[in-house]
Amino acid sequence: MSTATAGSLQEHEVAHHFEDLEQEFESHRFGMWLFMASEIMMFGALLTGGLFLLYLHPDAFAQGRAHLDWRLGALNTFFLLTSGFTMARAAAFAQKAEQGKVRTNLLLSLALAAGFLVVKCIEYKAKFHHGLLPGNAFHGAGFTSPHAHIFFGYYFVTTGLHALHVLVGMGLMIWCLKVSNRVRFTRAYYTPVEMAGIYWALVDLVWIFLFPLLYLVG
């Protein structure tokens, strides 16, 4: 039913300080949720700061947004949503103990995440090229707002921090691939894929708000 290497895989053992599998799983999931909560607070505060700046310098945001390509943003949205979908499929296959399909879906998500970063790099390069840089390095042409540099400063901080989370998420996918070489996923134990999936969904979630704030309204 699973891959050829399944015979050499270990079964998961419950850690010493937990009573049973369910307690362990629920604890991990709850812990992960709390961690997600703190991530949301961090990004949420950053987005609140963005709304504050939007209120303070509306013209800077309007002019700044005009220099972002919403099509690239939409493409990235597509990449992230699709990879979120494949990550959930990876967890679903882990439950069915289909180790091979878990790996395929993980690799697919990894590729989509990499695609996201590539598009991001293209966007950054264009910004560098046009001098749309934060602070004193800003020398973009055709702006009437004296504060247009703030939009780009904010753009780089938020997307940079988000890209950092994408990288961490990719690290988690690679870790899941490694674990899948060692441990057999079953309906009873698929925690690593589930946790990476939750984390990855958060990366989606943040992007769902970043995308309109930076690319669509302003």
Partner 1 sequence: MDMELPGHTYSFKVLGQVYVSLIVLSALMVGFAMLPMEKLPIDWLDLHLVKRLLILGVAVAMAGIVAGFLMGLKYEKSKLNAVVFLTNFAFLLIFLLFVLADISFRGAMDPSFTKQLNWKSPVNAEEGSSGEASH
Partner 2 sequence: MTAHAENINYLKTTRGLKSWLTTVDHKRIGLMYLASILVFFITGGLYAMLFRLELWSPEKNFLTPDQYNNFFTLHGVIMVFLVVVPGIPGALGNFVLPLQIGAKDLAFPKLNLTSLYLYWIGAALAIISLFAGHADSGWTFYAPYSLSKNPAVLWMLTAAFILGFSSILTGLNFIVTIHKMRAPGMTWFRMPLFIWALYATAIMQVFATPVLGITLILLLVENFFHIGIFDPALGGDPILMQHFFWFYSHPAVYIIVVPGFGIASELISAFSKREIFGYKFIAYSSVAITIIGFLVWGHHMFVAGQSEVADTIFSFLTFFTAIPSAIKVFNWTTTLYKGSISLQTPMLYGLQILFNFTIGGLTGIILAILSVDIHLHDTYFVVSHFHYVAMGTTMIAFIGGVHYWWPKMTGKMFNEFWGRLASILVFIGFNTTFFVQLIMGSQGSPRRYYHYLKEFQIYHQISTTGILILATGLFMALINLLLSLRGPSNAPQNPWGARTLEWEVAETPPVLFNFKETPVVTHGPYEFATEKS
In the complex, which residues of this chain contact partner 2 (CB under 8 A)?
A: 16-19, 23, 26-27, 30-31, 34-35, 37-39, 41-43, 45-46, 49, 52-53, 56-57, 60, 134-137, 146-147, 149-150, 153-154, 156-157, 161
- Please choose which of partner 2, partner 1, none residue 171 contacts, taking the beta carbon within 5 to 8 angstroms, the exact cut-off set by kind: none
Rule CB under 8 A: say whether 74 interacts with partner 1.
yes
Rule CB under 8 A: say whether 46 interacts with partner 1.
no
Q: Please report, for the chain, how many H helices and E strands are present, in that order.
A: 6, 0
Candidate residues 22, 164, 168, 178; the one interacting with partner 1 per rule CB under 8 A? 22
**9 DSSP assignment:** P
Collapse the DSSP code of 183 into the 3-class scheme (helix H, G, I; strand E, B; otherwise coil) and give the result. strand
| Nearest by Cα to 34 from 187, 202, 175 | 202
Candidate residues 5, 6, 13, 41; the one interacting with partner 1 per rule CB under 8 A? 41
Q: Return the axis-axis angle of helices 148-182 and 99-129, rounded to nearest 10°.
A: 160
The radius of gyration of the chain's CA atoms, rounded to the nearest angstrom, is 21
Collapse the DSSP code of 217 into the 3-class scheme (helix H, G, I; strand E, B; otherwise coil) and give the result. coil
Collapse the DSSP code of 47 into the 3-class scheme (helix H, G, I; strand E, B; otherwise coil) and give the result. helix
Rule CB under 8 A: say whether 95 interacts with partner 1.
yes
Q: What's the full length of the chain, in residues?
A: 218
Rule CB under 8 A: say whether 174 interacts with partner 1.
no
Euclidean distance between CA atoms 87 and 171, whole angstroms = 13
- Residue 84, Cβ density class (10 Å: 0-12 exposed, 13-18 middle, ≥19 buried): buried
- Please choose which of partner 1, partner 2, none residue 46 contacts, taking the beta carbon within 5 to 8 angstroms, the exact cut-off set by kind: partner 2
- Please choose which of partner 1, partner 2, none residue 154 contacts, taking the beta carbon within 5 to 8 angstroms, the exact cut-off set by kind: partner 2
Residues that bind partner 1 (CB under 8 A): 20-22, 24-26, 29-30, 33-34, 36-37, 40-41, 44-45, 48, 51-52, 55-56, 70, 74, 77-78, 81-82, 84-85, 87-89, 91-92, 95, 136, 146, 187-188, 190-191, 194, 197-198, 201-202, 204-205, 208-209, 211-212, 215-217
